[in-house]
Structure 1
Amino acid sequence: MPVLRQLTVCSAPATHVVEARSRKKGRVLEYRVEMCASHRWLARPWPGRRTTQEPDGRCGTMADHRAYTQVVQSHAEVWIGPLTGQDLQAHDGDVAAALRAAHRWLQDGSCSEIWHAVAALLGHAAWLAEAVASGMVEVEAGERQVLAALSAAETIDGTARGV
């Protein structure tokens, strides 16, 4: 089941698509990013086959079929890292620690209310990642909750940036 991510708040129809498939036999879809012509630059971080299409999806929609660790890594590299300076390597791959540090960085900054909402969701995602790591929450369900919190935070961030 894919994780749905909304990278923009743009309501324009998507006309550009990036699709990535695994290199393994069967070439399973890893992710699909849809953007309008104005926001197609936002798809640059994602490698894959780039095509244009008749408008049928919404700008900024991403269906991410990758494993939990790959999706978290994507959030860290493409969004959280550039926003807060935090990355998984600095925290030895500890998802909860990286999210907690990003949460603190946003919370400590002089941010608007919308940035506090992003910080709160990152804090929630960090707490969930800690609960998964400690065994308090079942792994698969907990990971889905972490990804849902990250997806919501990413959408709010897009709203704050006006993307």
Structure 2
Amino acid sequence: MTVFSTNTTCSSSTRNKKFASKEFPNQIKVVAIKITNHTGQTLRYGTNYKIFSGDREADILPVSEVAKHIKESVPTYLLYLFLTEANIPVDEGGTKERIIPIGLFLGPAVTILNMRTAATANKHFRQEMEEYNLLETEIPNGETGYGLVGIQSMDFAPLYMKVLDK
């Protein structure tokens, strides 16, 4: 019998669509869970409660595994270096034309900016997963715990929790 409530939302409904788009190909769902403990005991995942999806236990991944598969690809931004060849022709009247090599600045600048942004986003995602790691959180009786978990599954069966008998 479950004596606490859960609320779940998938990360695809959040503002970061790049991370959400990585969920489907990797068959991983990042789920936010809220647990209000009314069991009379302190809850710790795996010790006295488990999370189920449909009729089977949910395959919850460690943070390192989730962060390894759900991340922005930093090296793909190197393709912006092809902008280095971009030039703007400027007509100086008559048959004279001057070429301004804007790509010498534009290509490396866009590449560095996007690579830094992607690397920072990956770092923040991992930090957030570690900070709200529900697998490592103890939830005392009468309190509410919040956490993020990565679940290896793409079915949409509702999640629920069961208190384990000792």
TM-score interval, smaller chain: under 0.3
TM-score between the two structures when normalised by the length of structure 1? 0.26
User: RCO (CA 8 Å, sep 6+): is it higher in 1 or 2?
Assistant: 2
Asked which structure has the greater CA Rg, the reply is: 2
The TM-score normalised by the length of structure 2 is: 0.26
Higher helix share: 1
